[in-house]
Structure 1
Amino acid sequence: MPSSEPSNAPASPITVSVVDDDPMICQAMSLILNDYSQGRISVVSTSHNGADAVARAREERPDVVLMDIAMPDGDGITATAGLRRLPAPPHVLILTSLSPKGTVERAAEAGAEGFVSKTDAPEEIISRIVSVCEGRPQYNPASQRQLLADLHAHRPMTRRDEARALLDALTERERQAVLLAAEGLTNQEIAARLFVSERTAKAHLSSASEKLSMSRVQLAQLVGRADLPSPLCR
């Protein structure tokens, strides 16, 4: 008998806890994740301070926690460290509209795996949650640049490390397209290697160029500095 379940809905949705001292933000995020994710995500709870968030996570064991930074009863960075010490630690994405100096580095050191902007489009927020569960850190270009600046203030990075960090700020498809372009492949050849249309391949390259504010030639130079092996595209 064929299953009656929708083919695009996972057997078990990703469970998410939203933490923000503003109840309106919690409500808005809950609506976005529950209503726009097509069953892929389920918000199991909301909290308004770090201590409550850690206590709830210990009981509920969510897959992902969206964590605000400035809250009463301990800031989000402290709460993130507490979450990561739990027996079944969730992924933590910092929920913010700004990346003040030092925040990105502190968040990463506490165990956060990326940032979600409160002003991101619903599909972008959902994509970051899904991606972090797949093991891909979610540092957008703005937070990536702030992280590099913070790290530079404490210790110098090699040009190779800088280049790799910037490439890691791209989506997987954007990164693959950039690596192939750096090998000298045309848009048509890139499309064939990635099994996408030429228009899609061009869009990936344009998006990468816009995110990093680099031309195609500069992207190729960036790949050269990163000193990566040739991409193995499936």
Structure 2
Amino acid sequence: MLVSEVQQGDPIRVSVIDDDPMICQAMSLILTDYSSGRIHVVSTSTDGTTAVERAGSEHPDVVLMDIAMPGMDGIEATRMLRTLSPAPHVLILTSLSPSNTVERAIEAGAEGFVSKTDAPEEIIRRVLGVCEGTPQFNTASQRQLIGDLTAQRPQSRRDEARALLDSPPEREREAVVLAAEGYTNAEIASRMFISERTAKAHLSSASDKLSMGRVQMARLVERADIPARL
């Protein structure tokens, strides 16, 4: 899976998707006014179908995606966006986190959440962070995610996850494990004594082999119950 990468010095291209036009307008203003030119809003849409159609030509780096929308909801739209090449990073835009939202969003390929009530600086931080390869979860969804991942794992699921992780070569697998532990691309490069570009290449290659995004690979590592590196 080829993931959208922002060239140094270029503004991050963002699309905002929400069925409430006022939310689209508010988020666009925040992203424009508080990012010091680092973010450019390329479009807003009020439904998932339009968002997916426009993304194919607009090539956003990040999509802020509402969940509850008429027609195609945010989960399905996220799933379709992640099949594009390059695929945009998707942050779920929400004010609520129902019990199954985190699980469904991650399975669809989302890399984090942005609350509609977050401070402008926090919203900007999350957009910048996801472009650096770091999953973005607010406190409530992070607790829920940890609960999901630390739930009792059947032996068969653990063995299946370990078998899947054996498919990438050792160095790619090492990068995946470090990413699952929360290290940024730069930190992975430092710990593996490689360039940041090579670290990104390892993760991209592993993503292609596993047909998973970064957050999905992190969940795979958790299911495999691999001990943390010291």
**TM-score interval, normalised by the smaller of the two chains:** 0.5 to 0.7
Query: Which whole-Å CA distance do the structure 1 matches of 2:149 and 2:100 have between them?
Result: 9
1:133 aligns with 2:125: no
Secondary structure in 2 aligned to 1:86?
A: coil
Aligned equivalent of 1:54, options 36, 52, 55: 52
Aligned-residue offset at 1:124: 0.5
Query: Which whole-Å CA distance do the structure 1 matches of 2:179 and 2:149 have between them?
Result: 12
Query: Which consecutive residues of structure 2, in runs of 5 or more, have no partner in the other structure?
Result: 1-7, 159-177, 185-226
Q: Under a length normalisation based on structure 2, what TM-score does the superposition of the two structures give?
A: 0.64
Higher relative contact order by CA 8 Å / sep ≥ 6: 1 or 2? 2
AA in 1 matched with 2:56: R
**1:87: which partner in 2?**
85
Deviation digits for residues 67-107 of structure 1, max 9, x if unmatched?
00000111100000000011221000000011101100110
Secondary structure in 1 aligned to 2:114?
A: strand
Aligned-residue offset at 1:148: 2.8
The two structures, once aligned, show a CA RMSD in angstroms of 2.7
Secondary structure in 2 aligned to 1:29?
A: helix
**1:103: which partner in 2?**
101
Secondary structure in 2 aligned to 1:94?
A: strand
Aligned equivalent of 2:115, options 103, 114, 117: 117
Question: Could you say if the C-alpha distance between residues 22 and 142 of structure 1 is closer, same or farther in structure 2, counting changes exceeding 3 Å?
Answer: same
Aligned-residue offset at 1:153: 6.0
Q: Under a length normalisation based on structure 1, what TM-score does the superposition of the two structures give?
A: 0.63
Question: Could you say if the C-alpha distance between residues 151 and 49 of structure 1 is closer, same or farther in structure 2, counting changes exceeding 3 Å?
Answer: same
1:18 aligns with 2:16: yes
AA in 1 matched with 2:138: N
Query: Which whole-Å CA distance do the structure 1 matches of 2:103 and 2:152 have between them?
Result: 10
| Number of residue pairs the alignment of both structures matches | 162
> Does the 8 Å contact 1:102/1:150 carry over to 2?
no
Q: Which has the larger radius of gyration?
A: 1
Query: Which consecutive residues of structure 1, in runs of 5 or more, have no partner in the other structure?
Result: 1-9, 159-163, 173-225, 230-234
**2:27: which partner in 1?**
29
Deviation digits for residues 31-58 of structure 1, max 9, x if unmatched?
0000110000010100001111101111
Query: Which whole-Å CA distance do the structure 1 matches of 2:152 and 2:25 have between them?
Result: 38
Question: Could you say if the C-alpha distance between residues 74 and 153 of structure 1 is closer, same or farther in structure 2, counting changes exceeding 3 Å?
Answer: farther
> Does the 8 Å contact 2:65/2:91 carry over to 1?
yes
Secondary structure in 1 aligned to 2:56?
A: helix
Aligned-residue offset at 1:146: 1.2
